[in-house]
Amino acid sequence: MKSLVIYHSQFGNTKTLAESIGDALRGFGPSTVVSLELADVSTIPDVDLLVIGGPTQGHSTSPAMRAFLERVAPAVRTIRVATFDTRLKGPEILWGSAARSTATRLQHAGIELVVAPESFMVKGARQPKLDEGEIERAGAWATAIGTQLAEPALPVTGA
């Protein structure tokens, strides 16, 4: 399974998680991790799994990610996609979720996600830092996705 992890990061936390996710996905095949600014939309159709992540800003996806999603949506209609974000710890209703906002935008474009959007927690609003254990949790999340996608489909039996 060939995967591509595209991230947008302001303080480096989302980049760190993207690298952990990419490392875990390499257990299932080639995996590339690239920043949003360097992502080449034309290469996306060549992957089996696209993972998109960014920080939660203003309860939603960053403006840079929104612009990217508008360009990428037509290219990913037949690709398996997962989304993640970084956000402040606490109820999603208070802080929002870029992963959920990204997923909603993609779903409105007709794209199905392989798993529910995932949030990874940071603490501190001015200079946020990942909560303890979040890097490992990101790797475990990616491993679960890889395992799910690597499992052969069960045969359909007739009655």
**pLDDT confidence bin for 72, thresholds 50/70/90:** confident
pLDDT at res. 159: 47
Residues above pLDDT 70, as percent of the chain: 95
CATH T-level assignment (fold) for domain 3-150: Rossmann fold (3.40.50)
SS3 (DSSP) at 70:
helix
Cα 113 to Cα 54, 103, 142, 155, distances in angstroms? 16, 7, 14, 22
In this prediction, residue 110 carries a pLDDT of 86
pLDDT at res. 42: 86
pLDDT tens figures, 2-45: 999 999 999 999 999 999 999 999 999 999 999 999 998 888 88
Q: Give the position of tokens 């992502």.
A: 39
pLDDT of residue 75: 79
Q: Where are the domains of the chain?
A: 3-150
* Tens digit of each residue's pLDDT (9 = 90 or more) over 138-154: 999 999 999 999 876 55
Question: pLDDT digit string (tens) for 78-104?
Answer: 889 999 999 998 878 888 999 999 999
Q: Give bridge partners of residue 84 from the DSSP assignment.
A: 53, 118
Radius of gyration of the chain (CA): 15
